[in-house]
A and B are shown apart, each in its own frame.
Chain A
Amino acid sequence: MAYVAIADRDAPIHDPHTFIEKYIWSQDHKVIAIQYSIVAIFVGLVALVLSGLMRLQLGFPDSFHFVDPNQYYQFITMHGMIMVIYLLTALFLGGFGNFLIPLMCGSRDMVFPYMNMLSFWVYLLAVIVLLASFFVQGGPTGAGWTLYPPQAVLPGTPGAGLGIILMLVSLGIFIVAFTMGGLNYVTTVLQARCRGMTLMRMPLSVWGIFVATILGLLAFPALFVSAIMMTLDGTLGTSFFMPALSSMGQAPEHDGGSPLLFQHLFWFFGHPEVYIVALPAFGIVSDLLATHARKNIFGYRMMVWAILAIGGLSFVVWAHHMYVSGMNPYFGFFFATTTLIIAVPTAIKVYNWVLTLWKGDIHLTVPMLFAIGFIFTFVHGGLTGLFLGNVTVDLPLSDTYFVVGHFHMVMGVSPVLVVFGAIYHWYPKLTGRMWDDRLGRIHFWLTFLGTYAIYLPMHYLGILGVPRRYYALGETEFLPQSVHTVNAAITIAALVVAASVVIFLYNMIVSLWRGEKSPPNPWKATTLEWQTPDTPAKHGNWGPRLPEVHRWAYDYSVPGAPDDFIPQNVPVDSRYATGTGHHG
């Protein structure tokens, strides 16, 4: 069958000349990756500042006056939505997906670079619309990141007028942007791998991003549709989600709609969304662990199947977020069962990560520290997930700080640790410079210990019954005084963690100029992105000839080989075995 790679296509790939073509309206996947990352990190910082303000209010309830109850709701909502969608989804798929897929698969670029470029600009528009809601009358929506109707569109909820509409419109725009990018990522992985790169030789980072993108393409439609319906409810006065009700003494003109329909649509998107964020993290962390432990990943095939299984199962568990909304007990039973079944492939992955470290030649580099930190936080978040997956245990814990602790551990901190590790890991290829190692270590320990200081006590607060989404607790009978002390301590830890982000940013920016020049392959890694002729890689990635792949991505410490790693593009040598062996 004819072999097609970008190198062989008839039209030469578009070559940028001017500054604007190179860095602004760029169609180069690496530049687009940087653009996506910068915008995502920027909104992420906004969300971080919001969380700091919330924590100040919670830790020292009577001392600050710049957060009022309405704003608290608005901050929660914007913080949650930005972190989940505009930071993590955009960074993992738009940022790392764009950077890693063509480089790791040995392609020159994404299959449709122009559409890829549009994807970024539309994403930027989504971010602008989102941030604009801070400046409109009534401010951003305070409906909670779950945006549950009917309260989301009714007066009384902060931002019920323009705020919620801008949020919904921004989400719609984001989904358009994601779709343009996502189609590219999936098609590139399927159709434009270089010679020799079979699917079962792809690094797990690519697998994770690939499957996460498919999840996105199938899950975002539900959010898209619910956003359209809610926009109509909020502007035209339709009643998709609005039952007959009375609001602030008035009876709005709504009748017969179903709030539960929104919850189903939202969580049909919302649960896979967790894995849209988690699967790229899984993949990347596997590669970080193998590279820095100088060992092949344990159970590569199992890891791939686990990613696929988790991706598939994530579409049949959504109602575990709705146990308190009430449902037929048989449905509760069904969703609890599927939820617990997901734990099986997930646990396989955790065992395989640990077994990859077992007897490895572990280099405790900064990326490795973050990767190992991820294993800890993820296991903790996963274990509390087992509690919440059971209907009877979830009912009392739902909407308490136990849940806040759980989801921050599993989908907040864990992916963020991977993001940090991945940035430390790939920065040399991206910029040609190394980081300041010492600052990196300080950043790691502050972040890692800090997150435990923040989130472990939250589980305890939750078991005591501290409710989630409360502006202030006040004095109540059932909460001991210690709750307030713990809250103050959490706030201090949160501020320290936030400060450590400053160290990270400082390090990242200053290293651009001051960092040591990086060798092409500083971590002695096997995957293709480290084998480019230029560092940083030039437009087109590979010079005149595409690479050719001869082995899987994990030939570390092969017995008899001269080095402790064999890049994927090195031909097979009969003197020593290769990990791919019989399959490939």
Chain B
Amino acid sequence: MAHDAHAAALPPLKQVAADFGGDKQSFQVPWGKAMMWIFLLSDTFIFTCFLTGYMHVRISTMESWPNPSQVFALHMFGQDIPLILIAIMTFVLITSSGTMALAVNYGYRKDRRNTVLLLCATAALGATFVGMQAFEWTKLIMEGVRPWENPWGAPQFGSSFFMITGFHGCHVTAGVIYLLVTAKRVGSGFYDRKGSYETVEVAGLYWHFVDLVWVFIFAFFYLW
């Protein structure tokens, strides 16, 4: 059997196969973490389909596509600054990934107080992001953008915009709730009793994923 004494002698590829298929867990991680990885893989396919769908309609539509740097400009200090709001939102979300990473780190040190604080900070940054998104939606709706039409060109612009940012916003909102629940459990000492803070890292995986997806949405929707 591959897992015992002579395992060390296997050539590298066979060793990988033996480790993966051997007489033990395929991934040396807690079940929740393995499951989160698989879920995120599936979710990646969802966002990939959304983005390819968006690119497809952007190509197929007969009317011209509105210019994102004009549409997403804010009038500040007497001039239109393109993409300023989106830049701030992206900055906020990426910062939240930083606080999340710190939270995981403090979790592994079993530092309950700092973990809770950083989780709450992450959730707050996430909530800020959603708030700014709500602001952006309101602004566009006031300017006459609807899922089925907009003043500047292809109706698919509004459809894809509301659908994709909405779906991503739901992910962030769910993530904020998830983080708060985790923070509450950390605070109540649940994971101290369990002896492991690994669940914090699982929440972190989800959060980083949502961030990463945003980077793609940002690139494909706002910069293209």
Contacts and interface: CB of A to CB of B under 8 A. Distances in A.
A222 B156 CA distance: 19
Given A200-B21, A232-B147, A240 B62 contact: no
Contacts of A187: 31, 34-35, 38
A239 B156 contact: yes
B42 A111 contact: no
Q: Which of B28, B42, B159 has the most CB of A within 10 A?
A: B42
A101 to B, nearest CB: 14
Contacts of A70: none
Contacts of B20: 199
Given A10-B194, A236-B147, A239-B159, A4 B25 contact: yes
B51 to A, nearest CB: 10
B63 interface: yes
Interface string A237-252: 1111000100000000
Contacts of A222: 45, 49
Interface string B43-62: 10110111001001100111
Nearest to A584: B1
Given A197-B23, A225-B53, A257-B57, A238 B46 contact: no
A239 B147 CA distance: 9
A265 B45 CA distance: 11
B151 interface: no
Given A10-B194, A232-B163, A256 B60 contact: yes
Contacts of B194: 10
Contacts of A192: 25, 31
Contacts of A217: 38, 41-42, 45
Interface residues of A, number: 49
A198 B25 CA distance: 9
Contacts of B148: 236-239, 253
Contact of A190 (B1, B25, B39, B167): B25
Given A229-B163, A256-B155, A261 B38 contact: no
Nearest to A217: B42
A304 B26 CA distance: 17
B155 A198 contact: no
Contact of B60 (A111, A186, A258): A258
B148 to A, nearest CB: 4
B216 interface: no
A240 B156 contact: yes
A257 B61 contact: yes
Given A228-B163, A256-B63, A261-B57, A218 B156 contact: no
B132 to A, nearest CB: 24
A374 B116 CA distance: 58
B155 A255 contact: yes
Contact of B39 (A183, A253, A255): A183
A61 interface: no
Interface string A220-234: 111011101100100
A526 B25 CA distance: 23
Contacts of A239: 57, 61, 148, 155-156, 159
Interface in B130-170: 147-148, 154-156, 158-160, 163, 167
A240 B53 contact: yes
B2 interface: yes
B53 A229 contact: yes
Contacts of B38: 183, 186-187, 217
A220 B39 CA distance: 12
Interface in A5-32: 10
A237 B56 CA distance: 18
B57 A256 contact: yes
B24 interface: yes
Given A187-B34, A238-B148, A232 B159 contact: yes
A583 interface: yes
Contacts of A229: 53, 163
A457 interface: no
A244 B155 CA distance: 12
Contact of A191 (B22, B25, B49, B61): B25
A256 B27 contact: no
Q: Which of A184, A218, A240, A261 has the most CB of B within 10 A?
A: A240
A4 B27 CA distance: 11
Nearest to A188: B31
A297 to B, nearest CB: 18
A133 interface: no
A240 B22 CA distance: 47
A583 B23 CA distance: 12
11 contacts: A10-B194, A112-B32, A190-B26, A199-B22, A218-B41, A220-B42, A238-B148, A240-B53, A244-B62, A257-B61, A261-B57
Closest 10 CB pairs of A and B: A256-B61, A199-B21, A221-B45, A238-B159, A225-B49, A258-B60, A221-B46, A190-B26, A217-B42, A237-B148
Interface of A: 1, 3-4, 10, 111-112, 179, 183-184, 186-187, 190-192, 195-200, 217-218, 220-222, 224-226, 228-229, 232, 236-240, 244, 253, 255-258, 260-261, 264-265, 268, 583-584
Given A183-B39, A199-B22, 8 more contacts: A3-B24, A111-B35, A187-B35, A190-B34, A221-B43, A221-B46, A239-B155, A260-B60
Interface of B: 1-3, 20-28, 31-32, 34-35, 38-39, 41-43, 45-46, 48-50, 53, 56-57, 60-63, 147-148, 154-156, 158-160, 163, 167, 194
